């Protein structure tokens, strides 16, 4: 049966620009460009949050789907390479570990590498888990070069993401989109009009323009103009698990050489991010107003910069959680309008990306969108809750005694799924994940071990190797990693080669 012309979804209006709006426009134009009439309305007078400058490796797939050249992208966005996130002071003060992308070690048979590492530790080995991470060793050495496979080895090459200027990325994607027939409309929205059914009919601009569409995409940020202010989709508030509700953001002068990793530094009442770009460093402090006032937060941030600030810190207030319906009626929320998860694991831009891809996959042929929106919302909820639990893990596993925020997080009740995972790991060192979950088992292992949770036992298969066999296995892995890192060019020279 053909879709009737009258009932087809042809006209799509994106409300709001920024990273969310232009990522959405670019992908829809690339995939559905000939089948839809795509418009985006934004106002130059409304600022964007614009602190999402660190990403995870999936961003490569997004850029590749758009046909974007990596060197051009790095030039246009003042980007740098990200091999992982270094977490400092998250277990105990003075501790440091990295959630490095890519594998650690090499799996043997049906048991993950970390079981063999735990077995070796029990037999007196004192090596670090990260001795066997190519990404970690390259990050700390300031080295990088793209390669899919290590020479003469079954091991994969470096897994990487990017740091970039989110404002420059949005401008880059705007140019991309406008070259593909996306029409940008400058204007402020004065009111939103609904049909008798409750669907959105039009948005009316302050200059009197009336914009109608079959499908509306809310990229209006924390204001959630359509999805909440108009359609009252509801909100799941997660502040009892993630009590931080404020952030201060400030750029500082660039430091050279540019390191290929993000830093997350825990302080008394929150944590600080440091993101190195080619032209500046992005900094911020995420904190809980219940445990730290704004002036204390400002002083903590400014006193912990590694270079002079380039502006006054800018405050962002938020409520951690998710929209109960991220697709309601004929409106889909993408970006901060759909929910907020603090940037501890650099998931903000990824959540935009995954929502856009999910929308393309669930794009409605007709204006009867109920079944598709139900599936979209089911997948979105699952994704948000899995990322939420991974972020909670960092807070809960602290051993700090210097501030009530950390005590609260250590003692709070956990979501059931996270509590079960922790119990399983404590007893058996096992981590199992749902098939579509974002974070890998190796990612979970690094946070659990990095924040000092050593399990009571490990897989029996790890005892199938003698101490001598384990020693030889580890020595071979170390040698491969060391030789590879030694041969890599510096991250700084790689960036210069792309300009």
Q: At what angle do helices 404-411 and 370-396 cross, to 10 degrees?
A: 120
d(CA 474, CA 117): 9
Choice among 78, 82, 140, 143 that is catalytic? 82
Say which residues have a Cβ less than 8 Å from residue 54's Cβ, sequence separation at least 6.
82, 85, 161, 162, 163, 262, 273, 275, 282, 343, 346
- Show contacts of 34-37: CB within 8 Å, 24+ apart: 35/10, 36/9, 36/10, 36/11, 36/12, 37/10, 37/11, 37/12
| Selection from 206, 263, 229 nearest residue 45 by Cα | 206
Cβ neighbours, 10 Å, residue 269? 25
- Cβ pair 473, 116 in contact under 8 A: yes
Say which residues have a Cβ less than 8 Å from residue 16's Cβ, sequence separation at least 6.
40, 41, 42, 218, 219, 220, 221, 225, 335, 337
Place of tokens 């292992």: 445
Token readout for 278 is 């080619």
User: Max Cα separation, the chain?
Assistant: 79
- Cβ pair 485, 430 in contact under 8 A: no
Instruction: Please provide the size of the chain in residues.
Output: 499
d(CA 108, CA 304): 43
Place of tokens 């001795």: 131
Cβ neighbours, 10 Å, residue 208? 8
| Selection from 168, 167, 189 nearest residue 39 by Cα | 189
H-helix or E-strand spanning residue 87: strand 84-88
H-helix or E-strand spanning residue 142: none
DSSP-derived secondary structure for 12-60: EEEE--HHHHHHHHHHHHHHHTTT-EEEEEE-TTS-------B--TTHH
Q: State the burial class of residue 339 (Cβ atoms within 10 Å of its Cβ: 0-12, 13-18, 19+).
A: buried
Q: Is residue 195 annotated as part of the catalytic site, yes or no?
A: no
Q: State the burial class of residue 152 (Cβ atoms within 10 Å of its Cβ: 0-12, 13-18, 19+).
A: exposed
Q: Which residues are marked as active site?
A: 82
């Amino acid at each position: 049966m053909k879709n009737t012309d009258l009932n087809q979804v042809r006209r799509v209006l994106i409300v709001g620009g920024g990273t969310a709006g232009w990522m959405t426009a670019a992908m829809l134009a690339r995939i559905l460009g000939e089948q839809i009439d795509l418009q985006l309305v934004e106002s130059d007078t409304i600022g964007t949050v614009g602190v999402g400058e660190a990403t995870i490796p999936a961003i490569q797939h997004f850029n590749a789907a758009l046909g974007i050249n990596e060197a051009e992208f790095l030039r246009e966005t003042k980007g740098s390479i990200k091999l992982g996130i270094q977490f400092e002071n998250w277990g105990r003060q003075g501790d440091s570990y990295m959630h490095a992308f890519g594998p650690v070690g090499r799996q043997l048979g049906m048991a993950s590498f970390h079981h063999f590492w735990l077995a070796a530790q029990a037999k007196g080995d004192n090596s670090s888990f990260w001795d066997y991470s190519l990404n970690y060793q390259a990050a700390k050495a300031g080295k990088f070069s793209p390669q899919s496979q290590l020479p003469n080895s079954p091991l994969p090459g470096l897994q990487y993401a990017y740091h970039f200027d989110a404002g420059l990325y949005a401008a880059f994607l705007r140019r991309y989109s406008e070259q593909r027939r996306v029409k940008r409309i400058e204007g402020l929205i004065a009111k939103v009009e609904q049909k008798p059914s409750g669907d959105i009919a039009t948005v009316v601009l302050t200059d009197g323009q009336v914009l109608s569409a079959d499908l509306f995409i809310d990229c209006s940020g924390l204001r959630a103009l359509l999805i909440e202010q108009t359609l009252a989709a509801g909100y799941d508030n997660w502040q009892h698990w993630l009590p931080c509700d404020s952030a201060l953001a400030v750029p500082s002068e660039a430091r050279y050489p540019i390191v290929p990793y993000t830093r997350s530094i825990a302080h008394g009442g929150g944590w600080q991010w440091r993101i190195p770009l080619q032209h500046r460093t992005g900094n911020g402090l995420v904190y809980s107003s219940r445990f730290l006032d704004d002036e204390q937060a400002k002083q903590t941030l400014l006193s912990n910069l590694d270079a002079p600030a380039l502006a006054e810190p800018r405050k962002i207030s938020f409520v951690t959680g998710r929209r109960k319906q991220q697709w309601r009626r004929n409106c889909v929320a993408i970006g901060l309008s759909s929910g907020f998860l603090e940037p501890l694991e650099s998931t903000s831009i990824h959540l935009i990306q995954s929502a856009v891809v999910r929308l393309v996959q669930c794009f409605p042929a007709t204006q009867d969108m109920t079944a598709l929106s139900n599936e979209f919302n089911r997948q979105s909820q699952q994704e948000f809750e899995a990322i939420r639990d991974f972020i909670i893990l960092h807070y809960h596993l602290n051993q700090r005694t210097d501030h009530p925020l950390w005590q609260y997080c250590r003692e709070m009740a956990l979501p059931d799924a996270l509590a079960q995972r922790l119990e399983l790991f404590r007893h058996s060192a096992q981590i199992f994940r749902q098939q579509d979950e974002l974070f890998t088992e190796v990612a979970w292992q690094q946070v659990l071990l990095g924040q000092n949770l050593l399990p009571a036992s490990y897989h029996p298969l790890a005892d199938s190797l003698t101490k001598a066999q384990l020693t030889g296995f580890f020595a071979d892995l170390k040698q491969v990693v060391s030789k590879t890192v030694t041969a890599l060019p510096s991250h700084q020279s790689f960036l210069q080669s792309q300009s």
